[in-house]
Structure formats: structure tokens, C-alpha cells
């Protein structure tokens, strides 16, 4: 009996160690499901069901789910965030502008990660990183609250060494690189497109920051980014992934994005 329980303890320790090692070497795919909520909201009922799609994404291989609740609830609603929290089995990432309402929601829901983005309520989608130098005091205060609550923090920034340094000063655990400029420049000259992101990623690593990336990543440009920055912790992808799923189906699409991270 003692022999068996000792063995069980050893096996579970092995799993924990394996998981920690994988966490260190893997770039995780977090699927942003805002577009699913946009589709649902178009008809006012519950089709497609946001929670079911999130759970299916997990079953199909996603390593995390990202949502971006906005004040006008035009896609993800506050209620979706509460519904998702107890059911998700992978990493839950909530991104958004840290308004008092947003901070309150995140502190109540306690996701694994919160990503701070500087967008105004009316904005179509995030289109810039934070000016972390100008907003140092504000970000320090907000990050401090999340750090105390045990929620990992990430700050959305451009591939700019100074912005990354100030994100570290503010107390962020990670930065998320805003990859739209990489995605736009990729078709012209992929080496030139990725170069500033590799430099920025090195700055983040030298400061001990974790590294996420997101915006306009796709099956076309993701693998090249990964090859050049294999130490990324996570990529967060919505628009292209959900669009690809219209043709390929959600399961195959998620597998194909995962294949880009190998």
C-alpha cells in the first residue's frame, strides 16, 4: 500500500515537473473569441454559444482563451466573462482598458492573466501599444492591484525598447508585442518585418519579462515569427483564426495554428 501511494506521489510530481518544463519551452496559443460573440450578438439570441465554442477550442487544442470585454459590450459581455471562468480548463486571459469597471470585473473573476490595452471605448480594435513612460504612474498603480490579487499581468506595447523598459518599471510580468506592423510588412520583406520584433523580444528577455504577441497574426505570418522568437510565451489570435475556421472548420484551424508554433 505504502509502495503504491509512494509511486502515485512520484508520478504526480513527474507530471507537475513536466508541465512546468513544457510551460517554459512552449509558445501557447490563446484563441480570442470576441468574433464569436459578435456573431451571436448579431441576432440577439444565443447562437453560437460563446461558452461552448470556448470549450470546443480547448478540446481542439487551444492552450488558452482570450476575451476583450468593452464598455459597450458589443462583443464579449460581462456575463460571458463570469460564465466562462468556472468552466475553462486552460489559461483565461482578459484584455482591455483598465477603467474602474474593467478592474472590478478582473478582480472579481480572477483570470490567469490580464492584458492591459490602451484603447478608447469607441475604438474598432486595439491599434497601438501603451506609452508606458507617459503612463508610468497609472500603470504602476493598476498593475500593483492585479499583482496583489495574484493575477499575472501583461502590458500591450509596440516593439520599442523604451516602452518595454517602462513596462518592466511599472511592474508588469509580461509584455504583449503589438504585431500589426509585422503582419503588414511581412509580404514586402519578412526579414525586415521581423527584425524590430526580435530586438524588442531580446530587450524583454534581458529584463526578465515574459513575452506575448498578438494582432493580425495568421497562418501566413505566424510560423516565421515563431521561428525568429521561439521563446514567446503566448500568442493571442482572433480575427484570422475565426475567419480561417469558416473554410477549414474550427478543429483543423486550431491544429494548423498550433503547427505554426512548432
Out of 92, 194, 214, 260, which residue is the one contacting ligand PXP (CB under 6 A)? 214
Smallest gap from Cβ 94 to ligand PXP, in A, equals 11
Active site residue 95: yes
Active site residue 148: no
What burial letters (b/e) apply to 110-128, b meaning 16+ CB within 10 Å? ebebbbbbbbeeeeeebee
Is 131 part of any known ligand binding site? no
What is the DSSP track for 140-176? HHHHHHHHHTT-EEEEEE-S-HHHHHHHHHHT-SEEE
The smaller minimum CB distance to ligand PXP, of residues 156 and 166, is found at 156
Q: Which stretch binds ligand PXP (CB under 6 A): 38-46, 189-197, 238-246, 253-261?
A: 238-246
The smaller minimum CB distance to ligand PXP, of residues 98 and 214, is found at 214
Cβ neighbors of 156 (< 8 A, separation 6 or more) are 95, 115, 116, 117, 118, 126, 129, 130, 175, 176, 178, 214
Ramachandran angles phi, psi of 235, nearest 5°? -115, 145
Is residue 238 close enough to count as binding ligand PXP by CB under 6 A? yes
Is residue 173 close enough to count as binding ligand PXP by CB under 6 A? no
Q: Residue number with the shortest CB distance to ligand PXP?
A: 214
Is residue 65 close enough to count as binding ligand PXP by CB under 6 A? no
Is 210 part of any known ligand binding site? no
Q: Among all residues, which ones are annotated catalytic?
A: 68, 95, 215
Amino acid at each position: 500500500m505504502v509502495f503504491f501511494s509512494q509511486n502515485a506521489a512520484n508520478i504526480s510530481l513527474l507530471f507537475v515537473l513536466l508541465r512546468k518544463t513544457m510551460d517554459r519551452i512552449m509558445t501557447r496559443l490563446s484563441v480570442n473569441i470576441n468574433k464569436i460573440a459578435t456573431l451571436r450578438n448579431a441576432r440577439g439570441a444565443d447562437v453560437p454559444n460563446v461558452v461552448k465554442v470556448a470549450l470546443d477550442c480547448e478540446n481542439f487544442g487551444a492552450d488558452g482563451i482570450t476575451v476583450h470585454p468593452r464598455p459597450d459590450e458589443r462583443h464579449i459581455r460581462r456575463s460571458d466573462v463570469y460564465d466562462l471562468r468556472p468552466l475553462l480548463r486552460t489559461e483565461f486571459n482578459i484584455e482591455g482598458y483598465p477603467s474602474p469597471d474593467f478592474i472590478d470585473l478582473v478582480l472579481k473573476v480572477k483570470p490567469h492573466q490580464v492584458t492591459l490595452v490602451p484603447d478608447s471605448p469607441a475604438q474598432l480594435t486595439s491599434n497601438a501599444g501603451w506609452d508606458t513612460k507617459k503612463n508610468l504612474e497609472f500603470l504602476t498603480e493598476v498593475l500593483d492591484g492585479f499583482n496583489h490579487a495574484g493575477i499575472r499581468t501583461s502590458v500591450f506595447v509596440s516593439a520599442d525598447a523604451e516602452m518595454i523598459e517602462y513596462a518592466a518599471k511599472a511592474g508588469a510580468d509580461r509584455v504583449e508585442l503589438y504585431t500589426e506592423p509585422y503582419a503588414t510588412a511581412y509580404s514586402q520583406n519578412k526579414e525586415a518585418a521581423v527584425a524590430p520584433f526580435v530586438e524588442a523580444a531580446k530587450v524583454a528577455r534581458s529584463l526578465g519579462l515574459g513575452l506575448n504577441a498578438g494582432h493580425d497574426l495568421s497562418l501566413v505570418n505566424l510560423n516565421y515569427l515563431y521561428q525568429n522568437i521561439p521563446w514567446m510565451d503566448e500568442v493571442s489570435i482572433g480575427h484570422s483564426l475565426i475567419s480561417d475556421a469558416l473554410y477549414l472548420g474550427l478543429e483543423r484551424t486550431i491544429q494548423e495554428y498550433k503547427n505554426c508554433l512548432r
